[in-house]
Amino acid sequence: MSKRVVVTGIGVVTPIGIGNFEFTRALKIGKSGVSAIESFDTSAYTTRFAAVVKNFAPEQFIDKKKIKRMARFTQFGFASAKMAIEDSKLNLHDEDLSRIGVISGTGIGGLDVIEVEEQTLLAQGPRKVSPFLIPMIITNILPAEIAIHYGFTGTNYTVTSACASSNSAIGDALQLLRSGDVDVMISGGAEGAIVPLGLAGFCSIRALSRRNDDPQRASRPFDKYRDGFVMGEGAGMIVLETLEHALNRGAKIYVELVGYGASNDAYHITAPEPEGKGAVLAMEKAIIDAGISKEEVDYINAHGTSTVLNDKIETFAIKKVFARRAYKIPISSTKSMMGHLLGGASVVEFAATVLAMQGGFIHPTINYETPDPECDLDYVPNTARMKYINCAISNSLGFGGHNATVVIKRYVE
């Protein structure tokens, strides 16, 4: 029989707050984490702003000797995992570490390290390139570092499915827990690609907003005058356990993770399929996997990137799945506040959904000013809404046509 799976720990490093308390407070007030980029000269770029993590002190989470041997995405992810494990109050001395695994999602990896070492190579030659270059840039180093630190010898790998990566990682962890292969999984994702090359690449494909004169209002999902997404960085990790294991140790339970669905558009490397078929399929599969009716879903955390095509097509897909009821379901986009965390986006949106459920509110879609006739649902504009959420879904739709949806419910014994 398939085991039930619950969330017992959450840790986040985001542009609007580090740790659950700061993050939840920012969600409630609709805080924007977007500002001008100050870490490098952006004068030649068409977009000169992003959602950067501020006041992150890696030495609070990581041994000083290891900090220099970790790319920025790994630092974020490791810190998030540490906070999530502390939040879960797992007593590792009492655990079989072979039954604890780690699966993370990352879209790009150590791009910051690649840039620095490429410059070293060109200026000083190959002998000066760091011997840590390869271990620092590979995406699987994040779960490896977590496992090495804690001694977790269970399933351990990284999923890469662009912006859907961390939902894909959570979905894989769910299946392992259901099957009984593990008792505990640390899962989520991280990204740290706001560097000259990363920004240049996204500028070149014209995916980013160009509101350089008003960056805090640049991310405006579903608004008629949206003009592209805002690059973000950060990470989130969650502790998932079988219900049996959580109850046996008297764990605090946030929510139950009940469903997962994934698909591919099989259409285009960056553009979504025009009729939203892939997004529809992922949502339908997740709802079936959860064993719930569509009438039970009372909140949707949208992918909601603030791009012209994505928001329109995701809206269309939601209407295809829920029909007339789509107009009654509150929908919001966390990206309106913190930009797009790429491979780390969906787990932070998962965390936002769980924390909002705990707090009895729905966070707003900020910067929503002008309705778009093609985006005509309830996007919870600008102000948080007090609401009891029993069942929520969270969508992630990535470059390459990757789609992943998770279903979360309040835990009931």
- Catalytic residue, chosen from 163, 203, 375, 391, is 163
Q: Token pair for residue 348?
A: 């932070």
Contacts of 340 (CB under 8 A, 6+ apart): 51, 163, 229, 230, 231, 232, 305
Look up tokens 């046509």; give the residue: 401
- Catalytic residue, chosen from 203, 245, 340, 375, is 340
Look up tokens 């029989």; give the residue: 1
Contacts of 33 (CB under 8 A, 6+ apart): 14, 15, 16, 26, 51, 52, 54, 232, 337, 338, 339
What phi and psi values does residue 298 have, to the nearest 5 degrees?
-120, 10
CB 74 within 8 A of CB 237: no
CA 19, distance to chain mean position in Å, is 15
Task: Give the single-character DSSP code of 295.
Answer: G
E-assigned strand segments in 243-307: 255-264, 299-301
| Residue 7: other Cβ atoms inside 10 A | 26
340 belongs to the catalytic site: yes
| Residue 10: other Cβ atoms inside 10 A | 28
Strands 5-14 and 331-332: unpaired
3-class SS shares of the chain: helix, strand, coil, % to 5: 40, 25, 40
Amino acid (1-letter code) at residue 81 = A
Amino acid (1-letter code) at residue 242 = T
Distance CA 324, CA 372 (A): 18
163 belongs to the catalytic site: yes
Contacts of 121 (CB under 8 A, 6+ apart): 128, 129
- Catalytic residue, chosen from 203, 245, 303, 402, is 303
Give the residue numbers annotated as catalytic, written as ranges: 163, 303, 340
